[in-house]
Amino acid sequence: PPEVAAISGFPKSLLVDSSGSPILASKIPVNSPIITIYEYPLTGEPNFLLNLGDSSGKPVKLSPATVVVPQTGDKYTWPGGVGPYGSIVSYSAICQHLGCQPPYIHFYPPNHVNSAQESAPEPDTLTPQAVAAAQSNHVPAIFHCDCHGSTYDPYHGAAVLTGPTVRPLPATILEWDSSTDYLYAVGSIGVGVYPTGSNGVPSKDPKSDLGSSFGSSVGTKTVVKETEN
Which chain residues interact with ligand FES by CB under 6 A?
95, 97-100, 105, 145, 147-150, 164-165
The smaller minimum CB distance to ligand FES, of residues 38 and 104, is found at: 104
Nearest distance from C-beta of residue 146 to ligand FES, angstroms: 8
Q: If you write DSSP's letter for every residue of 86-114 in order, what string do you get?
A: T-EEEEE-S-TTT---TTSEEEE-TTTTT
DSSP label of 5: P
Nearest distance from C-beta of residue 98 to ligand FES, angstroms: 4
The smaller minimum CB distance to ligand FES, of residues 78 and 152, is found at: 152
The smaller minimum CB distance to ligand FES, of residues 9 and 200, is found at: 200
Nearest distance from C-beta of residue 122 to ligand FES, angstroms: 17
Nearest distance from C-beta of residue 170 to ligand FES, angstroms: 14
What number of H helices and E strands is found in the chain?
A: 3, 13
Nearest distance from C-beta of residue 105 to ligand FES, angstroms: 6
**36 DSSP β-pair partners:** 47, 222
Nearest distance from C-beta of residue 165 to ligand FES, angstroms: 6
The CA distance from 107 to 92, in Å, is 12
Instruction: From residue 17, give the alpha-carbon distance in Å to each of 182, 213, 221, 224.
Output: 11, 31, 8, 7
The CA distance from 204 to 111, in Å, is 30
39: CB partners within 8 A, 6+ apart? 10, 11, 13, 185, 224, 226
Query: Which stretches of the chain are DSSP H helices?
Result: 116-119, 128-136, 206-210
The smaller minimum CB distance to ligand FES, of residues 4 and 95, is found at: 95
The smaller minimum CB distance to ligand FES, of residues 174 and 210, is found at: 210
The CA distance from 221 to 162, in Å, is 27
The smaller minimum CB distance to ligand FES, of residues 83 and 154, is found at: 154
